[in-house]
Amino acid sequence: MQKKETGSMKRNRFIANTIVHVVLAILSIIWLFPVVWIVLESFNANPDPGSSSFFPSAFGIQNYIKLFTETDQFYFAKWFMNTLLVAIGTCLLSTFYVLCISYTLSRLRFKARKKLMNVGLILNMFPAFMSMIAVYYILKGIGLSESLVSLVFVYSSGQALQYHIAKGFFDTIPRAVDEAAWIDGATRFQVFYKITVPLSKPILIYTVLTSFMAPWIDFIFAKVILGTNYNKYTVAIGMWTMMEREFIQDWYGCFTAAAVIVSIPISLLFLFMQRYYVEGMSAGAVKG
Amino acid sequence: MKKLFDGIKQGFKNVFGLLKDAWEYGDLWTRLSFLVLGAGNIARKQIVKGIIYLAMELGFIFYMIMFGVTALSHFGDLGTKEQGMAYNEATGVYETAQGDNSMLLLLAAVVAIFIIVFFVVMWYKNVKSAYRTQLNKEMGKKNNTIKEDFADYLDTKLHFTMLFVPIMSVLVFNILPLFYMILIAFTNFDRTHQPPGNLFDWVGLRNFGVMLSSKGTIGQTFWPILGWTFVWAIFATFLNYIFGMLLAIIINRKGTKFKAMWRTFFVLTIAIPQFVSLLLMRHMFADNGPMNGTLMSLGIIPEGDPILFLSSKTLARITIIIINLWVGMPYTVLTTTGILQNIPSDLYESAKVDGANAVTIFWKITLPYMLFVTTPKLITDFVGNINNFNVIFFLSEGGPKTTKYYQAGYTDLLVTWLYHLTVDSKDYCYASVIGIFVFVISAVLSLITYRNTASYKDEEGFS
C-alpha cells in the first residue's frame, strides 16, 4: 500500500530537516571552534596570552621557529623524540602483555583463571596513580628513576590490566576451532601462533594504537617519575609546564604551535583506529 | 561473599591435605624435600628441576640472612634512630648522623614479605612435585624428563608460560606499590613526618577517623569533596549520555544529509589529546582570557568586570560540567550509534501509527531501550567520572582554592585531592586513605554491575 503524502506533511518535513541541519551546523561550529582557534593562534605573529580577541592580527610562523630554535630552557624536539621512543617501547611491550594475558584468560582453562580475573578487577578499582610515590621509590631502588625506560615499564604494566577488550574479542572466536586443532595433535602454543594470532588482526591493531597513544596523553606518571629534569620530559608535561604562570607569557605562542604538531599525528592515528574502537566497545556492550 | 570464603576454605583444605599426605605416605626423599628443596626430584632423576628448586632455597636463605631478617625486624617499629647531628670525635666537628628512613624500611619489609610468600609457594610446589614423582614411580609410571617438562610449558601449561612475564611486571609495578600504599594509610606519614629527617610510625585506624570526623579541617574537606564528586559524576555521566544520544539520533535520522561529515566533525575533537584541548579551554575561559575579552569588546559585559568562569565556586562547577559536555558527547555519539540502529524498527512504526511525536518516542521507546542495553556502560562511565582526573586537573587544577579546605579547592574531586596531597603537600597517609575510599566506592558500584551482566555469568555464550 502506497501512502500518499499531503502537502502539509511535506512542508513539515522540510521545516524539520532545515531545523536539524541548522542545529547540527551550530553545534559543529561550537565543537570545531577550539580546533580552528588553536591552528590560527599557532600562526599568530604576536602571540599574547592576555589578548582580548580570539583572532590574531597578523600571521607568521615565528612560533614554530621559536619552538625548534630556542632550546635552552624547553627543548621541544627532544621532548618529541622522548615521547616517540617511550611510545614505541610501550606499544611493543604492552601489546605483548595484553596479548598474552587476554589470550590465556580467554582461551585456556586452568585452575587460577577466575581468581586472576577477580584480582585484575580489584586492581582496576584503585585509582591508578594512588601508588605513584611507591612506584617512584621502587624505580629508584632498581636505579631507573627519572628515566624513559622506567616510563615504558610503568605504562606497560598499567596497560596490561586493560585486557578486557582484547579478551572480549578472543571470547568471540569459537572454541571449537581450538579443540579441533588440539585433537589433530597441535600444542596449545601452536594453536596460539598459527591460528589465533592471524585471526586477531583487528584487536592487535587496536591494542598497538591505544598503547602507542598512551604516553602522548599521560600526564601524571610522567610528572612524578621524571621529576624536574626538563630534558627527559615527554610532550604532555613539557607543554603543561609552558602554560604554567611563570612561563605562559613567553611560551604561549609556542604552546599552540606544539599543540598543533602533537595533535596532527595523534588525531590521524585515532581516526584510523576509530573503527576498531567502536568494534571493541560494542563487542563489550553486547556482552555486557 | 560466602562463596568467596568457601572457596578460600576449600583451597586451604586442599593445600594442607596434600602436605599431610606427602608427609604420611612419603618416602625418605619426599620427606627430605620438606627441608631440602628439590631432594625428591633429584632422587627421581629430575636433576635439573631439583637443582632449580635447590638454588631457589639457597638464594632465599642468602637473601634472608643478608637483608630479609633486618628488613622484617623493622616492620613493627619502622625505624627508631632519627637523623640528627652527632659530634665526631676524630674530626672535631658536628656531622649529620645517618638515621633510619621509615619509608625505605617499610618498602624493604614489604619486598621481604613478597619474597617470603613467593618462596612458600615454591616450597609447596616442590613438596607436591616430590610426592607426585614418588607416586608415579611406585605405580610404575615414567616421570617427565626435562625435555618433556619444557614441552608441557608450551602445551598443557602454556598459561603459566604466557602469564609469567606480564604478571611479574604487574606484581612489581602495580601490586607491590599498591600494597605498600595501603599500608601507608595506617601510618602517620604526613608532611610533618618526612623521613629521613623525621620518622613515621603505625597509627592504626586514626587517619580514617580524621577523614570521617566532621571536626578537623581534613574531615571538613572530605565530606564536601565527596559530595561534589558525586554531583559531578551524576551530571557528567547523565548529561553526556542523554545529549550525546540525542546528537547521535539527529545525525542518524532519515532526513539528515552528510551523516559521515557531521560524525567526523564531532569525533575529531576526541582525536585531539585531552591535555591540549583542556589547557586551551582553561586559557579561553580565564578571567583575562579571550572569552571575557570578546564579551567586553562586544559590550555584553562591562569593561573590567569579567565573568569568573573558572574562579568562583558555583560558576566554576557549572563551567566545568558544560565544558565536559564538549569533551564527552562525541564519545557517546561514537558508542551509541551502532546500538541505536539496532532498536527494532517495528517499535517505532507502531508508535507512529498511534500518533506519538518525536519527543514521546524518545522518552517512551528510545531512552528505556537504551537504558536497558547500556546500563553496564553507564555504571562504568559513572565510575570513570568519579576517577576523572584529566578534566578537573587541566581545567581548574581543583581551584578556586579556598582556605576552608585542606589542600583543595571547590572543584577538586577525591582523585585530584589525592593528587594534591601526594605531589603538593606530601601527606601520603591521607592520600592513601582517599585512595581506599575511592576503591570502596568503585568496587561497590562495579560489583553490582559485573555480577549482573551476561558476560560474567555466561562467559562462554559465544563458544
- Residue B263 above 50 pLDDT? yes
Q: Which of A55, A117, A133 to mutate to test the interface with B (most CBs of B within 10 A)?
A: A133
Q: Which of B6, B155, B174 to mutate to test the interface with A (most CBs of A within 10 A)?
A: B174
Give the C-alpha separation, A78 to A89, whole Å: 16
Between A33 and B92, the higher pLDDT residue = A33
Inter-chain CB proximity A189 and B158 less than 8 Å: yes
Count how many domains chain A has. 2
Say which of B176, B273, B419 has its CB closest to residue A216. Answer: B273
Q: What confidence tier does A94 reach under pLDDT thresholds 50, 70, 90?
A: very high
Instruction: Answer yes or no: do B281 and B183 share one domain.
Output: no
Predicted pLDDT of residue A182: 86
Give me the sign of the Cα torsion angle B361, B365, B371, B374.
negative
Inter-chain CB proximity B173 and A27 less than 8 Å: no
Per the domain annotation, does A1 fall within a domain?
A: no
Instruction: Tell me which residue has cell 619509608.
Output: B103
Give the C-alpha separation, B319 to B307, whole Å: 11
The least confident of B55-69, B86-100, B374-388 is: B86-100
Using a 10 angstrom Cβ sphere, with 0-12 exposed, 13-18 middle and 19 or more buried, the burial of residue B327 is buried
Predicted pLDDT of residue B311: 84
Furthest CA-CA distance within chain A: 80
* pLDDT tens, residue by residue, B162-201: 899 999 999 989 999 999 999 999 988 888 888 777 888 8
A30 CB near a chain B CB, below 8 Å?
yes
Per the domain annotation, does A211 fall within a domain?
A: yes
- Residue A189 above 80 pLDDT? yes
* pLDDT tens, residue by residue, B73-97: 888 877 777 766 666 777 767 666 6
Per the domain annotation, does A216 fall within a domain?
A: yes
Alpha carbon of A9: minimum distance to chain B alpha carbons (Å)? 13
- Residue A2 above 60 pLDDT? no
Inter-chain CB proximity A158 and B174 less than 8 Å: yes
- Residue B461 above 60 pLDDT? no
Inter-chain CB proximity B422 and A161 less than 8 Å: no
Looking at B184, B204, B224, which one is the last position of a domain? B204
Which three cell numbers mark B154?
608450551
Give the phi and the psi of residue A44 in degrees, each rounded to 5. Answer: -70, 125
Q: What is the DSSP string of B342-408?
A: TS-HHHHHHHHHTT--HHHHIIIIIHHHHHHHHHHHHHHHHHHHHT-HHHHHHHHTTPSB-TTSSS-
Instruction: Answer yes or no: do A173 and A267 share one domain.
Output: yes
- Provide the b/e sequence for A57-90 (b: ≥16 CB within 10 Å): eeeeebbbebbbeeeeebbbeebbebbbbbbebb
Instruction: Answer yes or no: do B195 and B225 share one domain.
Output: no
Looking at B157, B174, B204, which one is the last position of a domain? B204
- Residue A114 above 50 pLDDT? yes
A24 CB near a chain B CB, below 8 Å?
yes
Instruction: Answer yes or no: do A116 and A176 share one domain.
Output: yes
Say which of A137, A161, A281 has its CB closest to residue B335. Answer: A281
Instruction: Answer yes or no: do B153 and B44 share one domain.
Output: yes
Per the domain annotation, does B256 fall within a domain?
A: yes
Predicted pLDDT of residue A278: 60
Partner A, chain B 307-326, Cβ-Cβ below 8 Å: 326
Per the domain annotation, does A2 fall within a domain?
A: no
Per the domain annotation, does B461 fall within a domain?
A: no
Partner A, chain B 229-248, Cβ-Cβ below 8 Å: 247
Count how many domains chain B has. 2
A46 CB near a chain B CB, below 8 Å?
no
Give the C-alpha separation, B43 to B31, whole Å: 12
Inter-chain CB proximity A187 and B297 less than 8 Å: no
Contacts of A134 in chain B (CB under 8 A): 107, 176-178, 180-181, 184
Interval B351-374 mean pLDDT = 82
Looking at A27, A47, A64, which one is the last position of a domain? A64
- Residue B463 above 50 pLDDT? no
Work out the angle at residue A237's Cα, subtended by the Cα atoms of residues B293 and B328, and round it to the nearest 5 degrees: 60
Say which of B273, B377, B443 has its CB closest to residue A266. Answer: B273
Q: Specify which residues B84 forms β-bridges with.
A: B97
- Residue B435 above 70 pLDDT? yes
Q: What confidence tier does A227 reach under pLDDT thresholds 50, 70, 90?
A: confident
Instruction: Answer yes or no: do A81 and A105 share one domain.
Output: yes
Per the domain annotation, does B384 fall within a domain?
A: yes
What is the helix (H) or strand (E) element at residue A273, kind and residue range?
Answer: helix A248-287
Instruction: Answer yes or no: do A180 and A72 share one domain.
Output: yes
Inter-chain CB proximity A157 and B107 less than 8 Å: no
Contacts of A24 in chain B (CB under 8 A): 250-251, 256, 262
Instruction: Answer yes or no: do A124 and A203 share one domain.
Output: yes
* pLDDT tens, residue by residue, B211-261: 888 888 888 899 999 999 999 999 999 999 999 999 998 888 878 888 888
B156 CB near a chain A CB, below 8 Å?
yes
Highest mean pLDDT out of A65-74, B266-275, B294-303, B434-443: B434-443
Left if phi > 0, otherwise alpha if psi is -120 to 50, otherwise beta: which for B286? beta
Q: What percent of chain B clears pLDDT 90, i.e. is strictly above it?
A: 24
Instruction: Answer yes or no: do B135 and B272 share one domain.
Output: no
The least confident of A203-212, A260-269, B97-106 is: B97-106
Inter-chain CB proximity A282 and B290 less than 8 Å: no
- Residue B436 above 80 pLDDT? yes
Per the domain annotation, does B3 fall within a domain?
A: no
- Residue B457 above 60 pLDDT? no
Alpha carbon of A72: minimum distance to chain B alpha carbons (Å)? 23
Predicted pLDDT of residue A3: 53
A241: CATH: 1.10.3720.10
Using a 10 angstrom Cβ sphere, with 0-12 exposed, 13-18 middle and 19 or more buried, the burial of residue A174 is exposed
Give the C-alpha separation, B201 to B416, whole Å: 26
- Provide the b/e sequence for A125-161 (b: ≥16 CB within 10 Å): bbbbbbbbbbbbebbeeeebbeebebbbbbbbbbbbb
Instruction: Answer yes or no: do A108 and A249 share one domain.
Output: yes
B51 CB near a chain A CB, below 8 Å?
no
- Residue B120 above 90 pLDDT? yes
Say which of A157, A168, A266 has its CB closest to residue B174. Answer: A157
The least confident of A31-40, A137-146, B48-57 is: A137-146
Instruction: Answer yes or no: do B165 and B256 share one domain.
Output: no
Interval A257-280 mean pLDDT = 79
Between B418 and B303, the higher pLDDT residue = B418
Predicted pLDDT of residue A75: 87
Q: What percent of chain B clears pLDDT 70, i.e. is strictly above it?
A: 94
Q: What confidence tier does A1 reach under pLDDT thresholds 50, 70, 90?
A: very low
Instruction: Answer yes or no: do A243 and A174 share one domain.
Output: yes
Per the domain annotation, does A160 fall within a domain?
A: yes
B342: CATH: 1.10.3720.10
Q: Specify which residues B401 forms β-bridges with.
A: B409
The whole domain housing B303 covers 214-455
pTM here? 0.84
Between A229 and A160, the higher pLDDT residue = A160
- Residue A285 above 80 pLDDT? no
Instruction: Answer yes or no: do B194 and B220 share one domain.
Output: no
Per the domain annotation, does B76 fall within a domain?
A: yes
Between A71 and A255, the higher pLDDT residue = A255
* pLDDT tens, residue by residue, A195-222: 888 888 888 888 888 888 888 888 888 8
Per the domain annotation, does B8 fall within a domain?
A: no
A247 CB near a chain B CB, below 8 Å?
no
Highest mean pLDDT out of A121-125, A200-204, A254-258, B395-399: A254-258
Question: What 8-state DSSP symbol labels residue B312?
Answer: S
B268 CB near a chain A CB, below 8 Å?
yes
Give the C-alpha separation, A198 to A177, whole Å: 13
Per the domain annotation, does B178 fall within a domain?
A: yes
Q: What confidence tier does A89 reach under pLDDT thresholds 50, 70, 90?
A: very high
B296 CB near a chain A CB, below 8 Å?
yes
Interval B262-266 mean pLDDT = 87
Interval A107-118 mean pLDDT = 86
Instruction: Answer yes or no: do A175 and A214 share one domain.
Output: yes
Instruction: Answer yes or no: do A197 and A261 share one domain.
Output: yes
Give the C-alpha separation, A213 to B139, whole Å: 57
The least confident of A148-157, A196-205, A273-282, B57-66 is: A273-282
Q: Which of B14, B124, B252, B463 to mutate to test the interface with A (most CBs of A within 10 A)?
A: B463
Alpha carbon of B184: minimum distance to chain A alpha carbons (Å)? 10
Interface ipTM = 0.84
Q: What's chain A's average pLDDT?
A: 84
* pLDDT tens, residue by residue, B169-178: 999 899 999 9
Per the domain annotation, does B333 fall within a domain?
A: yes
Instruction: Answer yes or no: do B71 and B188 share one domain.
Output: yes
CA A274 to mean position of chain CA atoms: 11
Q: Specify which residues B409 forms β-bridges with.
A: B401
Instruction: Answer yes or no: do A34 and A128 share one domain.
Output: no
Looking at B156, B179, B204, which one is the last position of a domain? B204
Instruction: Answer yes or no: do A41 and A100 share one domain.
Output: no
Instruction: Answer yes or no: do A239 and A275 share one domain.
Output: yes
The whole domain housing A24 covers 7-64
Q: What 3-state class would DSSP assign to A181?
A: helix
